């Protein structure tokens, strides 16, 4: 079944769509789910929730996104649990508890933003975004000899927007993670596709991908970007 969906973006609720895939279908999960982050000076804003508000069918329409139900659904669909998951600081405790409960290996990478929102309210800048790396012991691919810089856990870049999407991850970051944790021909899963950056990074590197996105406007944006001859 999975062959018919390779290198495509599927429109739908990922928690429902994933149920239709056989277990052990994917080599690597690389995803940027909706979550809450704190922006200094403006209180709490909900990243990516506006365009999904009212249509988070699998997670619920509550902006307080909960990661654990998603992890339990996606876990059997991976050949081994092998994942990079972008998240907010507030999501870290429940995620780390889940990792320790399952005795997985883990690490934390960060995106250090060079142009964060200015700080107010006697607090630090919102200049860090977290990416938790999780893998089972044994059987998960790790690419060696990519160069010293590739294995640094702090990734530095500015926040940039693209037409149609205000918060895409930098392409080179997604490509770096894919290079380290997969090989050509592997299947990358991105169940919160957004503008399609992860899928494009996979295509650029000769990996297969399956994207899932609940918002039809973002489905079309991702598909349009994937049709470009030069993928940026």
CATH of residue 176's domain is 3.40.50.150
Residue 63 lies in a domain: yes
On whether residue 232 sits in a domain, the answer given is no
165 inside domain: yes
Asked if the structure places residue 117 within a domain, the reply is yes
Sign of CA dihedral 153, 9, 33, 141: negative
In a domain, 8, yes or no: yes
- What is the DSSP pairing of strand 82-87 with strand 35-38? unpaired
Determine the Cα–Cα distance for residues 133 and 116; give it in Å rounded to an integer.
24
Closest CA to 39 of 113, 139, 95, 109: 113
Selection from 22, 24, 48 nearest residue 35 by Cα: 48
How many distinct structural domains can be found in the chain?
1
Asked if residue 77 is part of any domain, the answer here is yes
Is residue 20 situated within a structural domain?
yes
**pLDDT 10s per residue in the chain (232 long)?**
799 999 999 999 999 999 999 999 999 999 999 875 444 444 444 444 443 333 333 333 335 568 999 999 999 999 999 999 999 898 999 999 999 999 999 999 999 999 988 876 788 888 999 999 999 998 899 999 999 999 999 999 998 888 887 778 999 999 999 999 999 999 999 999 999 999 999 999 999 999 999 999 999 999 999 998 555 5
Residue 184 lies in a domain: yes
Give the predicted TM-score (pTM) of the model.
Answer: 0.87
Q: Which domain holds residue 111?
A: 2-227
């Amino acid at each position: 079944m999975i062959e018919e969906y390779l290198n495509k973006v599927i429109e739908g609720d990922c928690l429902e769509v994933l149920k239709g895939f056989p277990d052990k279908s994917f080599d690597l999960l690389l995803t940027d789910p909706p979550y809450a982050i704190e922006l200094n000076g403006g209180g709490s804003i909900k990243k990516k929730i506006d365009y999904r508000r009212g249509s988070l069918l699998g997670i619920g329409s509550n902006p307080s996104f909960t990661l654990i139900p998603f992890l339990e659904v996606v876990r059997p669909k991976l050949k081994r649990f092998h994942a990079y998951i972008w998240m907010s600081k507030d999501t870290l405790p429940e995620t780390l508890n889940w990792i320790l409960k399952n005795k997985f290996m883990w690490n934390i990478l960060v995106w250090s933003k060079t142009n964060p929102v200015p700080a107010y309210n006697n607090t630090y800048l919102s200049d860090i975004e977290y990416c938790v790396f999780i893998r089972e012991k044994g059987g998960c691919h790790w690419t060696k000899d990519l160069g010293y810089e590739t294995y640094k856990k702090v990734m530095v870049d500015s926040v940039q927007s693209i037409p149609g999407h205000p918060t895409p991850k930098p392409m080179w970051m997604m490509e770096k993670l894919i290079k380290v944790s997969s090989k050509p021909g592997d299947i990358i899963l991105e169940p919160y596709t957004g503008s399609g950056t992860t899928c494009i990074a996979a295509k650029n590197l000769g990996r297969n991908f399956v994207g899932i996105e609940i918002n039809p406007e973002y489905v079309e944006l991702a598909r349009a970007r994937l049709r470009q001859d030069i993928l940026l």
